[in-house]
Amino acid sequence: MNARSAFDDWPEPLESAAFHGLAGEIARTIEPHTESDLAAIMLQFFVAFGNVVGRGPHFRAEADRHAPNLFAIQVGNTSKGRKGISWGRVRSLMSCDPIWEQACIKSGLSSGEGVIHAIRDPQGQDPGVSDKRLLVVESEFAATLRVMARDGNTLSATIRQAWDGNTLQVLTKQFPERATEPHVSIIGHICKDELRRELTRTDAANGFGNRFLWAAVRRSKALPDGGNLPEADLLRLQKRVTCAVEWARALGDHELKRDSEARALWHKVYFDLSEGKPGLFGAVTSRAEAQVMRLACVYALLDQSVVIKREHLGAALAVWRYCEVSARYVFGDATGDPLADEILSNLRAAGRSGLTRTDLNNSFKRNREAADISQRLGFLRDWRLADFKTERTPGRSAERWYAIEFLPGAAGLSSSNSFNSYSAGTS
């Protein structure tokens, strides 16, 4: 059995709980008339709705204020995943605010300074930008990742600050602009191979990757003549979205809180949501608690509810589970560290025979420092991807290392054993 087979399976479709309320009605109405993946439509609708509403409605986690701004990336196996047309479907629903649609939707993420300039404060003779909402739609997110890798580029740090809702500013004399109270959201489209190639472990570990919802998407069906959503259905959905947006914006600076039933469910799932997971997958899903609550806020606002109810939290958990499984599918059990990944690959190739440290040194033709290999083995052990058994030899004892699934006495053990362990808790 291929050790990676568990990570190569396409994620199961969104659970029924995710189709709660208006979001579910939109998905069910559009689905027969589009080749787009329903997950792509749902996620992009949540991002667009959360952005047009603005930063008024929010929830608090200790001292942190979370507005309903979301970042979501659609990940397809190929360029034929119908990622782009799904955004067109969502945008057609957002006729509720023509000013937002004309002035606040942009593309071209290339620098932190560019993001700040788009929603800059007044300065001198420059009146600045009064509307701090910004929805960035990147159809080629791989280009954004390549730009971020350049020395001195400030985009990664600015994106992290924007998700947090903090004042955006680059601390250089050459760029004095800043943006207070930003409300930035991002939609990106990328192919799986490009993503794995371009997203470095540094980007993931520094908090960039975990601010995004990752959704595996593909074409749902073939419609040679295109979709044909009836005009009456589109107008009905547009009207419902408009009502929800106007109601949410009228709330102003309102803090949403969980009711007693939602609080009980939150206590039930919190530990597993907040527990760290190994590797690159763990790095990009390490803000599960905040992501779930932002989604729950969106569901509540779509229901025109001033509190977050159990059904809102349950729907958010269902969406998060899809995003988490998608992240597992996209990133597998890669660490993001090239040397650690190569060591793990060698251990997997060795199977139940395992490799000693001498074997590992020889596998790199002794072109790697023993200290570097030792450090990566420690990483793999911490991430529950590899471990060793001590062997007696005529001289001093030796360590024989195994990929965790081949470790003697650990039959069936896998780094994904606890994956989605909280899923049963939402029923």
Tokens of 78: 């190929």
pLDDT at 297 > cutoff 90: yes
Whether the pTM exceeds 0.75: the reply is yes
For the beta sheet containing 355-356, the strands, ordered from the edge strand earlier in sequence to the opposite edge, are: 355-356, 398-403, 386-391
Domain 8-331 grouped into CATH 3.40.50.300:
yes
Single-letter amino acid, residue 5 = S
Domain ranges of the chain: 8-331, 339-406
pLDDT digits (tens, 9 = 90+) for 347-374: 999 999 999 999 999 999 878 888 999 9
- pLDDT reported for residue 92: 92
CATH class belonging to 339-406: mainly alpha
Segment 68-85 shows an average pLDDT of 79
Residue 53 CB contacts under 8 Å (≥ 6 apart), including other chains: 68, 245, 248, 249, 301
More confident: 409 or 309: 309
Per-residue pLDDT band at 2 (split at 50, 70, 90): very low
Q: Which of 300, 251, 210, 242 is nearest to 54 (CA)?
A: 251
Angstrom distance (rounded) from CA 193 to CA 207: 21
Domains 8-331 and 339-406 share a fold: no
What's the angle, vertex CA 125, arms to CA 122 and CA 126, rounded to 5? 40
pLDDT at 418 > cutoff 80: no
Single-letter amino acid, residue 154 = T
Q: In this structure, are residues 318 and 310 in contact, taking their beta carbons and an 8 Å threshold?
A: no
pLDDT digits (tens, 9 = 90+) for 169-211: 987 778 889 999 999 999 999 999 899 888 876 677 679 999 9
